[in-house]
Structure formats: structure tokens, C-alpha cells
Structure 1
Amino acid sequence: MGMEPAAARARRGMPEKRRAIAQAARAVFGREGYSRASVDTIAVEAGVSKRTVYNHFTDKEQLFQAVALEGAEQVTEAVGEILERHLRKILDVREDLIAFGLERVAAVTAFPDHFALVRTIEAEVTRIPPVVLEAWKEVGPLSSHKKLAPYLRRIADRGLLVLDDAERAANHFNLLTITDVNQRTFYGALPLPESETADIVIDGVDTFLRLYGTGATKA
């Protein structure tokens, strides 16, 4: 049995009431948005007093940041596992990139409360404190993006891709596949038919390989 991820151990070690507050906060922020959500509503949904919420979190801003970062860490962990599953050993670069893209896209549906929070962040970006926004970007989107780059570099080192900047290539891959699907589905809120999702990912991978593939891997 492998080692339990650090973030999972941390979540398991949280006091029960703090876990309940975080779970309720994630749901309320995702449903009502950052500005409209109140600590009173979160306390009721968590089944605790308002005082108990403030015993664990200084204010609404800190509570929002905590649940946004915890959710981002969970998603980033999942992305790391998907990367290892599909891109650690490459048998067919096109097929492996497609398989990675499809599972990466599907992972959005495994974290519905977190991606409801992401929709809140995008909708209220000007109302969310900049320090909270920057912390979330660093732990979530930027971290997931940076995890892909070393895999692409190793694939290139094997002569299966041609690239000078692995991070730029990772950004292009994400834009052509995962980001495209997320924008069309509003992060899973309006799911596409599986066949349409597959078409987007496959077309994105083929475009990526036209940019970065070798003669043997170009579509």
C-alpha cells in the first residue's frame, strides 16, 4: 500500500467541527457566491454556532481562502495521479496524451463543490481579495500546470516531442484540451456528451502534435 498523500493526511487530522464548517462553506460559497454568502448561513449548514466558526476561522475571507486552497490541493493531487498513470511511461505518445486529456477532463466531475467554487471565483474575481485570489492560483491552476511541464520535457528527451519551453508547451496543451472543455461546460455545470468531449480532446491533442510532434508523432 502506498503512502497516503500529505494533504489527505492533513484533512483526516482536522477536528470534526472544522471539517463540517469547511464542507458547508464550500457548498454555500459555490451556491451563493462570495459576496452573498454569510457566516450565519455557513454555521447553520454546518450544524454549529457562529461562534464556533470564528473559533476556527478569523473571518469570511480566511474561511473562503481555506476552502479554496484545500479544494485546489485535492484536485492537484488527483492531477498528479493521472499524470503518473498516463505519462510516466509512453507507449504511443498520441494515444497516451489523449488518455491523459480525457481522464483529466473527467476529474472535474469528481470535485463538484470545488469547481462550483471556481465558478464563484471567476464570476466575482473583482470582489475577491487579491491575496486570496493569488494564493488560490498558485496552489490550484498554476500548480496543476507546472506538474505537466516536466512530463512533456521527459517525453521530448525521448525524442517524441520537439519543444524548447516545456511550460509553454504545457500551457498550449491545457488550452487546447482541458481549458477548452472547462470553458464550454462551465467547469462541469453543463456537461457535454462524452462523444463531443472526446472530439475536443482528440482534436486538441492532434493540434498540439502538429505544433510539437516529431515526424513520427505528428497527426
Structure 2
Amino acid sequence: MRPDKRQAILRGALSVFARDGYSRASIDGIAKEAEVSTRTLYNHFADKAELFRAVIQASADEVAQDQIQLIERHFHKITDLQQDLVEFGRAMGAQQGHAEHFALVRQINAELTHIPAEAVEAWLDRGPRKVRKALADELGELGFKDPARAAIHLLLLTLTGDPAVRGSRPSDDDIAAGVQVFLHGHDVENPATAAT
């Protein structure tokens, strides 16, 4: 299996799946986008489901790596917990790149019942769950009593905009308010760290 051909297929498939979704994407369309023959594509992947799983895993790995690096940068310099969490929320929301990945995630959410469950689980394990675990580990180090739950709440309160508008981002004021609500709702064992 030539790595350059495989990478071309994965890149082309990401573009097509992000644009068309899983159900509407065709093997012929993916082969055309990747500039390979359909036969070449089938030499690398047994079917569309296997290709989709490989695409979402590779894409989730790349995004998770960037997000975990961002988490580590922000949490290894905490001095004012409230303000530093606001800065973290702003940085997560402003993270550039990966537009096709997040378009693909929107497609997954839109047609969840039509996508093979093992592909969805692979994406969750390699992406969102991995990032949440990294965040929970950092929150645990800061003294949060239930870091796994705290990680979910922090992400929801700082990355979610208007729930009526899918994909909207919160304003800076909304992020600050979200952090305030987050800190009010979660016990921190080291109150000196949480003081502002």
C-alpha cells in the first residue's frame, strides 16, 4: 500500500464527506476528488464504511493533538483560575484550521443514524473523549472534585453559543459568564488556586 496514494484518498474523502455527508458521498466522487481510480481506492479500503472510519480517525487524531497541546499550554501556567479559564475558553473558540474536520462533525451530527456505529465510536474515542480526558486530568490537578464532569461542563459553558443557531460561538462576555457559572457550580479542593 503506497502511503502517498492512501493519504491522497484520505484527503479526498475528507473533502467529500465534509461537503456531502456520509449517505450522499459516493466512492466514484471520492476517487475523482483524490485523483485516483476507483480500483485504487478499493485496493486500500474495502468499502465506504471502512474509508469513512479511517478518515474520521485520522482527522480526529490531528484535531485532538492540537486541542490537547492548547490545553497543556493554558493549564501549565494557571495563576488566576477564573481569568485563565476565560482565556482558555477564548483560545479554544478561536482555534484556527481544521475547517473540513468540523464540517464533517456537523455532517455526522446531522445524519448520526445513517453512519456505522463503530465509525462514530472511533471518532468519539480518538477525538472528543480524548480531549475531554486531557482537560479532566488538568482540572483534577487543580483540585476539582469531579474532574470528568467538570471538563464536560467547562466545554459546554465556554464553547457553546446560541443553542438556536447550530455552530454559533459565544461572545467573550458569554465565555466569562460561563466560567463564572462553572466555578460557582464546581467545588475546588484548593481554594487558594481558585481565588481571583
The TM-score with structure 2 as length reference comes to 0.90
> Which residue among 100, 103, 111 is the counterpart of 1:124?
111
Counterpart for residue 126 of structure 2: 139
Q: Which runs of 5+ in 2 are unaligned?
A: none
C-alpha spacing 1:181/1:16, structure 2 compared with 1 (3 Å): farther
- Give the counterpart letter for 1:206 in structure 2: Q
Counterpart for residue 158 of structure 2: 177
Counterpart for residue 73 of structure 2: 85
* Cα distance between partner residues in 1 of 2:21 and 2:185: 39
Contact 1:86 1:96 in 2 (8 A): yes
C-alpha spacing 1:97/1:116, structure 2 compared with 1 (3 Å): same
Q: Deviations over 1:19-66 (max 9, x none)?
A: 111111111111111001001001111111001111111110011111
Q: Deviations over 1:135-189 (max 9, x none)?
A: 1111111111111011111112xxxxxx3211011111111112x13966644xx
- Give the counterpart letter for 2:109 in structure 1: E
- Give the counterpart letter for 1:118 in structure 2: V
* Cα distance between partner residues in 2 of 1:20 and 1:167: 37
Contact 1:152 1:166 in 2 (8 A): yes
Question: Paired residues, what number?
Answer: 192
Contact 1:206 1:218 in 2 (8 A): no
> Which residue among 183, 188, 195 is the counterpart of 1:209?
183
How far 1:70 sits from its partner (Å)? 0.8
How far 1:133 sits from its partner (Å)? 1.1
Q: Which secondary structure does the structure 2 equivalent of 1:177 belong to?
A: helix
Alignment of 1:27-176 (within 5 A): 27-107=15-95, 109-156=96-143, 163-176=144-157
Q: Deviations over 1:95-130 (max 9, x none)?
A: 2111111111122x4110001110111011000011
Counterpart for residue 8 of structure 1: none
Percentage of pairs with the same residue: 42
- Give the counterpart letter for 1:30 in structure 2: A
| RMSD of Structure 2 on Structure 1 (CA) | 2.1
Q: Which runs of 5+ in 1 are unaligned?
A: 1-13, 157-162
C-alpha spacing 1:216/1:87, structure 2 compared with 1 (3 Å): closer
